Amino acid sequence: MNGIHHELVALLGADAVVAGDDPAATRYLSDATESRAIRGRADAVALPADATAVASVVSWCYEHDVPLVPRGGGTGYAGGAVPGDGGVVLALERLTSPPETEPAQWRARFPAGTITADARRHVRECGLFLPVDPGSAEQSTIGGNVATNAGGPHSFKYGVTGVWVTGLQVVVAPGQLIELGGPVRKDVAGYDLRSLLVGSEGTLGIVTAARYKLIPAPVAELPVAALYPDPESGCDAVAGVLAAGLVPATLEFLDGAALAASARSLAAALRGLGPEATSAARFLVLCEADGDAEPAAALRRELQELLGERAIAVHAPTDRREIARLWHWREGVSPAVIAQRGRKLSEDIVVPVERFAEALAELASIGRRHRLETCSWGHAGDGNLHATFMIDRDDDEQVARAEAAAQELFDLAIRLGGSVSGEHGVGLVKRGALSRQWDAAAVALHEQIKRAFDPKGLLNPGKKLAR
Ligand SMILES: Cc1cc2nc3c(=O)[nH]c(=O)nc-3n(C[C@H](O)[C@H](O)[C@H](O)COP(=O)(O)OP(=O)(O)OC[C@H]3O[C@@H](n4cnc5c(N)ncnc54)[C@H](O)[C@@H]3O)c2cc1C
């Protein structure tokens, strides 16, 4: 038992601490970036049961100059929850007391360890809707969503996590448990510290609970999927939806390689269209019309018509099981892409929507220059693409090439007026990219904010660094 492990056991009890070299700690040393071989080392993993215990861990670490890395579901794509060389992984997964839901006031408060999909299902049973739906919803947590300001397909209409969070319970250095915001839907009394914590990737404080405002659940949710022979006609269709002023809940896309990677489940999801249509498709647009029954049905018809103008085929199921099959396929795209060669390197750049087609074309040429197969999918309506380089399982040289290609992707996003990250954050993997995107004075403010919250630099060190 090392010293840190020993001290934490005294603080939390033996069943709430795992030594860093224990095989049970292995799953806390990586996140979804593991296919890029990103993995760290920790002295101990702390698994506190409540917010007070979280505060005591932060206090102890701060007093003893021990770095700590907060962790939710470990689904992050930026290496944010991966420890560097030692310190404590602070796993929030046991903060799962029942949510406090106030259906009549359209709001709920969730402990940080609540699984995203459980939170969504819970409020749905109360007739309410929590729109944030990252593709990782069955594993990611409320705390992780807040820390990364997570989005997802429904962000096109409803916005990302920060839009819905009205209050946070947070442990800040050197170990105080504080409330930021609250149940109110408006609050301009001070600087917006709550918003500063949202998206801070565990570098400013530890989120122990979050209050969400909610909306009544839509009565109808009707998808429309359209297949195109090439990216140009697909991108024109996306632009057409925006130009027509239609507001679907989602406006997603997949390119030909992403469709090919998930071909089998795609064929099952689009069973009604027949194999010719799916095999000829090189681009897919996926929308959802939601709301009350009649307006949703009317929007569905408009989308079918508009998307159908240059499409090979349009699939607009109304049967519950068929709809579920379609979303099930969409959720499986990322693992299906990994399965192609064993690994992938994916970056979540975002560009102004009118530069979207250009970004896709440039991704292909970056891939060609670096001799890497590419594919992409994501949130077309937000200009947010998961630009992906496919990598053979055992080929580290390809990883090095993909890392170099990712740097070109960041330059591309900045050149087109976008950002190096639309969803996954900076974490470890985009360290330094922000200083290419922001003015020097803004970078200096970024660094001053970090120092104000974390003067000793112990909260998730090495993450979200601007340079
Ligand atoms: C298949 C798949 C699909 C995905 N789809 C989407 C998507 O559609 N949209 C999207 O935005 N993201 C997506 N992601 C990325 C990821 O799932 C989200 O960022 C998610 O919100 C991370 O939650 P988590 O609990 O897994 O956090 P983790 O991975 O554990 O941590 C992420 C970051 O948050 C910090 N953190 C975690 N919990 C806390 C806490 N309580 N307090 C302070 N800091 C904390 C960590 O230190 C780390 O920096 C996807 C990932 C996968 C694997």
Task: Give percent of the chain above pLDDT 70.
Answer: 100
pTM (predicted TM-score)? 0.96
Q: What is the pLDDT of residue 441?
A: 98
- Determine the distance separating the centroid of ligand 1 and the alpha carbon of 146, expressed in angstroms: 8
Q: Which fold has domain 100-216?
A: 3.30.465
pLDDT at residue 1 is higher than 70: no
The ligand 1 atom nearest the CA atom of 142: 25
The confidence score (pLDDT) of residue 293 equals: 97
In testing the pocket of ligand 1, which one of 35, 68, 75, 77 has its CB within 8 Å of the most ligand atoms? 75
Residue ranges around ligand 1 (CB below 6 Å): 31-32, 69-77, 80-81, 92, 112, 134-136, 140-141, 143-145, 147-148, 150-152, 201-202, 206-207, 334, 423-424, 427, 460, 463
Confidence of residue 276 (pLDDT cuts 50, 70, 90): confident
Mean pLDDT for 425-437 is 95
Position 37 scores a pLDDT of 76
The residue-averaged pLDDT of 50-66 equals 98
Give Cα separations from 180 to 45, 170, 171, 176 (angstroms): 27, 8, 10, 12
Do 3-91 and 100-216 have matching folds? no
pLDDT of amino acid 393: 81
Residue-wise pLDDT tens digits, 295-352: 999 999 999 999 999 999 999 999 999 999 999 999 899 889 989 998 899 999 999 9
User: Out of 3.50.50.60, 3.90.190.20, 3.30.70.2740, 3.30.379.10, which CATH number does the structure's domain 336-415 have?
Assistant: 3.30.70.2740
End-to-end CA distance of the chain: 36
Average pLDDT over residues 395-413: 93
- Mean pLDDT over the full length of the chain: 95
The CATH number fitting domain 3-91, selected from 3.30.43.10, 3.10.20.30, 3.60.15.10, 1.10.540.10: 3.30.43.10
Mean pLDDT value of segment 431-436: 94
Where do the domains of the chain lie? 3-91, 100-216, 220-331, 336-415, 431-467
pLDDT in tens, 152-161: 999 999 999 9
- Could you tell me which CATH number the domain at 220-331 has? 3.30.70.3450
Across residues 79-87, what is the average pLDDT?
95
pLDDT at 273 over 80: yes
CA of 300 to the centre of ligand 1 (A): 32
Mutate which of 89, 132, 140 for ligand 1? The one with the most ligand atoms within 8 Å of its CB, which is 140
